[in-house]
Amino acid sequence: MTKEELNIEFEDAVERINNFKEPFPADFLLRLYAYYKKATNNYERPSSSKPIINAFKTNALFQVKDVSQDEAKRIYIDLVNNYFLYRK
């Protein structure tokens, strides 16, 4: 897959998530958050008003610190595809 194809697939996966109206499991959202931030090179600190949520987000980001930007996009795409494939 070329870099351009990867970017298109990643944007499509992001759009699928953003357009879905039902709630997602919290652990799934944390993984999406971490891989999205890594994939987009967004290193801003978590900004929730609740410290515990910031702690969970920071931990999720720490867990993906050694993942490359392209690998983060691939994993994000796989997470989204698998979620919609296996959800009930």
pLDDT at 88 over 60: no
Helix (H, G, I), strand (E, B) or coil at 49: coil
Q: What angle do CA 55, 61, 63 make, to 5 degrees?
A: 105
Q: Which two tokens stand for residue 62?
A: 């720490």
Instruction: Give the whole-angstrom CA distance, residue 27 versus residue 11.
Output: 21
Q: Where are the domains of the chain?
A: 3-16+26-86
**What's the whole-number mean pLDDT along residues 10-19?**
97
The CATH architecture assigned to 3-16+26-86 reads: Up-down Bundle (1.20)
Task: Note the pLDDT of residue 47.
Answer: 81
- pLDDT, tens digit, for every residue of 28-73? 999 999 999 999 998 788 888 888 988 999 999 999 999 999 999 9
Q: CB count, 10 Å around CB of 24?
A: 14
pLDDT at site 87: 73
- pTM of the full structure: 0.91
Would you state the structure tokens that stand for residue 5, as one six-digit string?
């194809």
